[in-house]
């Protein structure tokens, strides 16, 4: 990898690699099997400054930049896509919204605790049954004096139930549809906010997903992010910033899976030769390596746009589109190369396959990447 990383970025990458080997490798399989939220590892990530790595120093972060942050996501994903998801939902979604759209008072109130690990963040947009704001469970925020009163349901919320702070999207003008949606910072312990159930998932199982119920949840108007009606714009920008981190997650998983396939291909003997000697296997590996290489460059470039405060939406959508395609195809090929063993639960490839699918679906149809790219091209 010859992308010109600075010395500091290389050190951060190396320390994330060591962290992953020391703390995540021993628990990665167990948290997947048992679907356990790894709170001790989250605390350790906080102690290593991972939770607030790219967030500003003045609000408790490390100001190390978004590219350094995605390097960490990539390293963690080589061992556990689930732990990477916990970090992405916390940092690229919840904390991103507060940092990008919050007032100074809101940042002072929430970011230091989100950076130190005292509080974990989550992002609550998706609703049961239909697109956000369109179904019978839509979350509505009714203005009452200086407060809003939230009612409705959210589903599939990563870090749901274990988070302390939720960025919640709710209709302040239900008649206007998504144009009447607003974003609120909601403390997890607010009366009336409960978890009705956790969702059993195919992959990313150490990252808990939950359904949330809002029953007369009172939120101060001081916790409105931006102004009324800009919720979908906030959601879209945060989801695209998260897509870059999810691109790094896909690259990390695909790289680890390919490394495993290379090792296996050299060891597995068929017809008197290692299977890696067969051209069909070499073609699959060569295509995989090329796609991962290109995807990584795109992820790093899009991350550096975010870091430099440049327009990044089109490039982030391109990352989402490309990493989604190449990540899934890489895992299908890895399992093909590893044959029956690859398909067994004993091999790491099956977990990688389940995890990469989740990383690709997440954020997928909130705004189709193709739509974002075409809109930019045709503007």
- Residues with active-site annotation: 363
Q: How far apart are CA 6 and CA 28, in angstroms?
A: 30
- Pick the closer one to ligand FAD by CB: 280 or 378: 378
Report in angstroms how near the CB of residue 209 gets to ligand FAD at its nearest.
Answer: 6
Q: What are phi and psi of 205, to 5 degrees?
A: -75, -20
Cβ closest to ligand FAD, residue 42 vs residue 284: 42
Who's near 33: CB < 8 A, 6+ residues apart?
205
C-beta of 212: minimal distance to ligand FAD in Å? 10
Residues of this chain that interact with ligand FAD (CB under 6 A) are 89, 123-126, 156-158, 204, 209, 358, 361-366
Nearer to ligand FAD, 204 or 285 (CB): 204
Least gap, CB of 264 to ligand FAD (angstroms): 27
Compute the least distance from the CB of residue 77 to ligand FAD, in Å.
13
Residue 200 Cβ vs ligand FAD, minimum distance, rounded to whole Å: 12
Describe the crossing of helices 81-88 and 66-77 by its angle, rounded to 10 degrees.
150
Closer to ligand FAD by Cβ: residue 124 or 285: 124
Judged by CB, which is closer to ligand FAD: 202, or 286?
A: 202
């Amino acid at each position: 990898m010859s992308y010109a990383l600075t010395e500091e970025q290389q050190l951060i990458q190396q320390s994330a690699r060591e962290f992953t080997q020391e703390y995540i490798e021993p628990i990665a399989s167990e948290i997947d099997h048992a679907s356990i939220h790894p709170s001790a590892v989250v605390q350790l990530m906080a102690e290593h400054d991972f939770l607030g790595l790219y967030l500003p120093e003045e609000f408790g972060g490390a100001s190390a930049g978004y590219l350094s942050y995605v390097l960490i996501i990539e390293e963690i994903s080589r061992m556990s896509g689930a732990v990477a998801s916990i970090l992405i939902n916390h940092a690229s979604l919840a904390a991103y919204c507060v940092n990008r759209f919050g007032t100074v008072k809101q940042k002072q109130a929430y970011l230091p605790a989100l950076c130190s690990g005292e509080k974990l963040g989550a992002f609550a947009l998706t609703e049961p049954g239909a697109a956000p704001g369109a179904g019978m469970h839509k979350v509505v925020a009714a203005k009452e004096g200086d407060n809003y009163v939230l009612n409705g349901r959210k589903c599939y919320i990563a870090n749901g139930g274990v988070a302390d702070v939720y960025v919640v999207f709710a209709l302040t003008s239900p008649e206007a549809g998504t144009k009447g949606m607003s974003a609120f910072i909601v403390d997890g312990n607010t009366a009336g906010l409960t978890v009705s159930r956790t969702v059993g998932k195919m992959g990313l199982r150490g990252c808990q997903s939950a359904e949330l119920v809002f029953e007369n949840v009172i939120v101060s108007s001081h916790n409105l992010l931006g102004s009324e009606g800009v919720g979908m714009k906030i959601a879209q920008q945060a989801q695209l910033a998260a897509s870059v981190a999810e691109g790094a997650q896909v690259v990390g998983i695909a790289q680890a899976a390919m490394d495993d396939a290379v090792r296996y291909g050299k060891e597995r003997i068929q017809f008197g030769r290692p299977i890696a000697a067969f051209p069909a296997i070499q073609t699959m590996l060569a295509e995989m390596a090329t796609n991962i290489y290109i995807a990584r460059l795109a992820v790093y470039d899009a991350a550096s746009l975010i870091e430099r405060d440049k327009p990044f939406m089109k490039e982030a959508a391109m990352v989402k589109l490309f990493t989604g395609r190449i990540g899934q195809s890489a895992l299908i090929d890895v399992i093909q190369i590893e044959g029956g063993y690859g398909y067994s639960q004993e091999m790491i490839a099956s977990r990688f396959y389940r995890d990469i699918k989740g990383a690709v679906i997440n954020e997928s149809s909130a705004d189709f990447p193709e739509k974002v790219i075409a809109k930019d091209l045709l503007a």
